[in-house]
Amino acid sequence: MVKEKHDMELRPNPRTGRYRLISANWKMNFNHLEAIQATQKLSFVLRPADYSYTEISIHPPFTDLRPLQLLIDSDRMRFSLGAQNCHFEPHGAFTGEVSAPMLSRLNVTYVIVGHSERRQHFFETDDIVRAKVEAVFHSQMTPIICVGETFDERQRGETERILQTQVDSAVSFLSPELAERCVVAYEPVWAIGRGASANPDDAQQGAATVRSVFESRWGKAVASKVRIQYGGSVNPANAADFMQLDDVDGLLVGTAALDPESFARIIQA
Ligand code: PEP
């Protein structure tokens, strides 16, 4: 059974029936003291109603997970704890790695898998991403599977094929029950950390392609439950444009999530 941690007061989007999810990917930023401060500030600036429309997950570096777990639990904050990565094996001789069962013990709900920075700098292949998806589900957590084309691939007109390949490889082995629980982040690689996001039409097209992969394998009922995020230079000024799209159910936010006030404005948008 995958952990379901939806806040009792969280309301699904009436248009789609899906729960919105906005995630802060802090990347390699904030030591544990800074992480506590940022989380406290975010909790301070958000209004109670902000949690009713959107689930919010925070993905700090590994060293911040335990302090944030304690903070969230003790102050009854309505954040879901997330990780940025995990190893696909449950334990063993993998120096420097952290496994899915270790994250699960820290009450982690979501694990980002296959972020483009990991594919690029740490040579994660589609096969590794697939193994991590399996490991995350095996430990009763939910993967946020990152997919997206590079600038060159877009220029060559390969966006659709790349998205189909990345998504299908990551999820094809899943049962329909697990497939519908996936979160996929469509993150065009050229839009990450650049300050220049995709335009909403491109984001919708990418998200629709992601959903179509689930539909081809498992049919409409499963595909209509999968949550899809857009990621890539989201900020308070453009967040609402993405959240209105038919196939976009949330956002994966990097740079703008490092400032609690700006992340709160994204949630409120
Ligand atoms: C990310 O790293 O997932 C991301 C979307 O970063 P940014 O918001 O900085 O583009």
Contact 179, 217 (CB under 8 A): yes
What structural domains and CATH numbers belong to the chain?
30-43+51-87+97-268 (3.20.20.70)
pTM for the complete prediction? Answer: 0.96
**43-78: pLDDT as tens digits:** 999 999 999 999 999 999 999 999 999 999 999 999
Residue 31 Cα to ligand 1 middle (Å): 19
Which amino acid, 30?
Answer: F
pLDDT, position 194:
84
Query: Which residue is it, tokens 């519908």?
Result: 180
pLDDT higher than 60, residue 257? yes
115 an active-site residue? yes
Ligand 1: residues whose CB is within 6 Å? 25, 187, 192-193, 231-234, 252-256
Contact 231, 252 (CB under 8 A): yes
Catalytic one of 115, 117, 134, 149: 115
Residue 192 Cα to ligand 1 middle (Å): 5
Residue closest via CA to ligand 1's atom 6 equals: 254
**129-178: pLDDT as tens digits:** 999 999 999 999 999 999 999 999 999 999 999 999 999 999 999 999 99
Q: What is the 3-state secondary structure (H, E, C) of 191-252?
A: HCCCCCCCCHHHHHHHHHHHHHHHHHHHCHHHHCCCEEEEECCCCCCCHHHHHCCCCCCEEE
pLDDT higher than 60, residue 3? no
Residue 136: other Cβ atoms inside 10 A: 27
Contact 63, 26 (CB under 8 A): no
177 an active-site residue? no
From CA 47, how far away is CA 255, in angstroms rounded?
A: 22
3-state DSSP assignment of residue 10: coil
Residue closest via CA to ligand 1's atom 4 equals: 254
Q: Which two tokens stand for residue 135?
A: 């490991």
Residue 219 Cα to ligand 1 middle (Å): 31
Q: Among 21, 22, 25, 59, say which to mutate for ligand 1: greatest number of ligand atoms within 8 Å of CB.
A: 25
**9-19: pLDDT as tens digits:** 899 999 999 99
From CA 269, how far away is CA 263, in angstroms rounded?
A: 10
Residue 119 Cα to ligand 1 middle (Å): 14
**Chain centroid offset of residue 29 CA:** 17
